[in-house]
């Protein structure tokens, strides 16, 4: 049952932003849901209570952003291109902040 959760989340997001979403193949993960960053950020906040916790930019200008709901441990990662299009790359539950290395 848990294995079906990720595709259902992607389908729900695709249904929420159908006019501006496009399907892009993600390695070994099936199709990714891509849309304007603002749509993803609003959807994750409204639907799942997730907000940006971490951002990092690679040399090619693509940003990775981690959205987290600190109360539930639910999380989502987005890749954000320089033109403002973001793609959900993974989602999960039971996240926790690690302290120190």
Q: For residue range 29-64, what is the model confidence (pLDDT) as tens digits?
A: 556 689 999 999 999 999 999 999 999 999 899 999
- Asked if 89 contacts 32 with a C-beta cutoff of 8 angstroms, the reply is yes
- Asked if 74 contacts 95 with a C-beta cutoff of 8 angstroms, the reply is yes
Task: Please state the domain extents for the chain.
Answer: 2-92
pTM metric for this prediction: 0.68
Residue 12 has pLDDT above 60, yes or no: no
- Asked if 87 contacts 34 with a C-beta cutoff of 8 angstroms, the reply is yes
Q: What is the pLDDT of residue 7?
A: 42
């Amino acid at each position: 049952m848990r294995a079906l959760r990720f595709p259902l989340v992607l389908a729900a997001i695709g249904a929420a932003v159908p006019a501006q979403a496009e399907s892009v193949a993600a390695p070994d993960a099936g199709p990714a849901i891509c849309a304007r960053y603002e749509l993803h950020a609003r959807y994750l906040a409204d639907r799942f209570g997730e907000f940006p916790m971490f951002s990092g930019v690679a040399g090619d200008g693509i940003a990775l952003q981690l959205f987290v709901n600190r109360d539930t441990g639910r999380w989502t990662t987005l890749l954000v291109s320089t033109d403002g299009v973001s793609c959900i790359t993974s989602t999960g539950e039971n996240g926790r902040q690690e302290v120190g290395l």
